[in-house]
């Protein structure tokens, strides 16, 4: 059984004071919901303050990005070493990073490797653009993104490994979460249908099974992301292959986000 999972990606929104206020508004509501992993991903500058606020709660913290090196002359960048003290998760390969900041599959691959070896759990985002969907290239794009992002990451370790390291490394690969986020659905109010997302997520698990093993693919959590709200979340999480959601806009409204988490836990419990 895979534990359901909902993460809120606040993107470049909220000052530190606004972030603290938002956490205060959702803390009780989220805290009451069990049987689900709940993750908040605020901007970097709010991580320290929010980590303090979440101490003793069941809500986890994630970052929205990181550099693939652990330290060095990379002005303005944040390394996994700086994050791993306070964050459990890190969003990697978000379409906004790929499209506005030129992140290639190769860069995403380096980031996934460093995150895993640095003790962070990557939420790896993949998804096709509208023109790719319309050209019938969705599977080709997703297959390329998954295979490239996970290149060299095997149950035997990030670059292969000995038999004796197998168990530990299988644990490491199990720390990955994939978020299927069709780019045409992000921030547009035009979500995929539950059925559409389920078919695509089934395909994504198939790629992971091909790369690793069927058992690892079955353990892997795969989320849907793209215009998720408290009104449409049920359509997604009632599909057994969809383990939860990565939520952008709606995670900036406390009531909406708590509603999404609540509904997910409720449907998965049933
Ligand atoms: C996202 O940015 O990951 C996202 C899914 O955004 P939204 O929910 O606003 O579509």
Task: Read off the pLDDT of residues 241-250 as tens digits, 9 standing for 90 and up.
Answer: 999 999 999 9
Share of the chain above pLDDT 90, in %: 91
Would residue 202 show up in a list of annotated catalytic residues for this protein? no
Q: Which domain holds residue 148?
A: 5-269
Using CA atoms, how far apart are residues 116 and 204, in angstroms rounded to an integer? 20
Q: Are 74 and 43 in contact (CB under 8 A)?
A: no
Q: Are 41 and 83 in contact (CB under 8 A)?
A: no
CATH number at residue 204: 3.20.20.70
Q: What are phi and psi of 3, to 5 degrees?
A: -70, 130
pTM over 0.85: yes
Residue nearest to atom 8 of ligand 1 (CA): 248
Q: 179 pLDDT band (50/70/90 cuts)?
A: very high
Catalytic position from the list 96, 103, 170, 181? 181
**Which ranges of the chain does DSSP label H, i.e. alpha helix?**
16-31, 47-54, 80-83, 95-100, 105-117, 130-134, 138-149, 166-173, 194-211, 214-219, 233-237, 254-269
**Atom number of ligand 1 nearest to Cα 249:** 9
**Which ranges of 39-137 does DSSP label H, i.e. alpha helix?**
47-54, 80-83, 95-100, 105-117, 130-134
The CB of 187 under 6 Å from ligand 1? The reply is yes
Would residue 181 show up in a list of annotated catalytic residues for this protein? yes
Per the structure, how many domains does the chain have? Answer: 1
């Amino acid at each position: 059984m895979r534990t359901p999972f909902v993460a809120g990606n606040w993107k470049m929104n909220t000052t530190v004071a606004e972030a603290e206020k938002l956490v205060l508004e959702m803390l009780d509501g989220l805290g009451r919901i069990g049987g689900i992993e709940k993750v908040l991903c605020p901007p970097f500058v709010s991580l320290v303050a929010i980590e303090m606020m979440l101490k003793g709660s069941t809500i986890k913290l994630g970052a929205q990005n990181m550099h693939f090196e652990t330290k060095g002359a990379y002005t303005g960048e944040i390394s996994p070493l700086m994050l791993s003290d306070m964050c459990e998760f890190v969003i990697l390969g978000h379409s906004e990073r790929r499209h506005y900041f030129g992140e290639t599959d190769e860069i995403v691959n380096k980031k996934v490797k460093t995150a895993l070896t640095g003790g962070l759990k990557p939420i790896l985002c993949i998804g096709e653009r509208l023109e790719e969907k319309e050209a019938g290239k969705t599977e080709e794009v997703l297959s390329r993104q998954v295979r490239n992002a996970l290149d060299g990451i095997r149950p035997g370790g990030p670059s292969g490994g000995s038999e004796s390291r197998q168990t530990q490394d299988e644990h490491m690969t199990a720390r990955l979460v994939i978020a299927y986020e069709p780019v045409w659905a992000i921030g547009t109010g035009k979500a995929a249908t539950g059925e559409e997302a389920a078919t695509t997520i089934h395909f994504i698990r198939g790629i992971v099974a091909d790369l690793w093993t069927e058992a690892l693919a079955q353990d892997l959590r795969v989320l849907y992301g793209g215009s998720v709200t408290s009104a449409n979340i049920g359509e997604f999480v009632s599909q057994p292959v969809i383990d939860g959601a990565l939520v952008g806009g709606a995670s900036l409204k406390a009531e909406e986000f708590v509603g999404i988490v609540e509904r997910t836990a409720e449907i998965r419990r049933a």
